[in-house]
Structures are given as structure tokens and as C-alpha cells.
Amino acid sequence: MSPCNEYEPDSVFELHSNVETYYQDGRWHTRRCDSDEPFASGASRLRLIAIGVEVARWNGLRHLIRDADGTIAEVNTYLVGPYPSRSPARYDVLAG
């Protein structure tokens, strides 16, 4: 799976996502799409998704979640405000 800035986006969601959780080289990673380096890595998919959710939630960003094969499974959009919601403002399940 290539980082966000090394491939052509295949959807509008991929183009505008700001935080991405993905699988690469036997580990899960979470990163900002404007950076080549993940800010968190580890063996637990759920833990890395939770980290990505917190970053997206507090910064009002989209969180793109990929399956191990690189396909987009979910895109969650979070809004900023004085009390950010723990639930996404928009939730799209893309994998079938």
C-alpha cells in the first residue's frame, strides 16, 4: 500500500481524507496524509484505528480506514467544535 501522496486517488474520499490507517510491511500504521511518516505503528488494528479516530476527531478531519489488502473499508468525517463528538458526523462503509 502506497502512502497518500504517492498514488492517484481512486475516489473523492481518498482525495480529501486527512488521517489514514493502513497495513504495510506486517504492521498497522496511522498517519496524516500530508506526511510520509506514520505518527503511530503497531500490531493491533483496533488500537491504531482508535488513535486515528482521536486525531481526526480533535482536528475536525476525515479518517480513512483501509483493510489489510489496501481497499478502503470506511471513511469517517469529524467536525470541530468546543465539544467534539465521539461519533463521526458522517460514516461511509465502502468495503462489502
Query: Which has the higher per-residue pLDDT, 39 or 7?
Result: 39
What are 88's strand-pairing partners?
none
Tens of pLDDT, residues 41-86: 999 999 999 999 999 988 888 899 999 999 999 988 887 766 655 6
- Tell me the percentage of the chain whose pLDDT exceeds 90: 46
Q: How many domains does the chain have?
A: 1
Query: 34: domain range?
Result: 4-93
Look up residue 64 and give its three cell numbers: 480513512
Q: How far apart are CA 96 and CA 89, in angstroms?
A: 21
CB atoms within 10 A of CB 77: 18
pLDDT for residue 92 is more than 80: no
Arithmetic mean of pLDDT, 10-38: 82
Arithmetic mean of pLDDT, 11-32: 82
Q: Are 94 and 14 in contact (CB under 8 A)?
A: no
Look up residue 65 and give its three cell numbers: 480506514
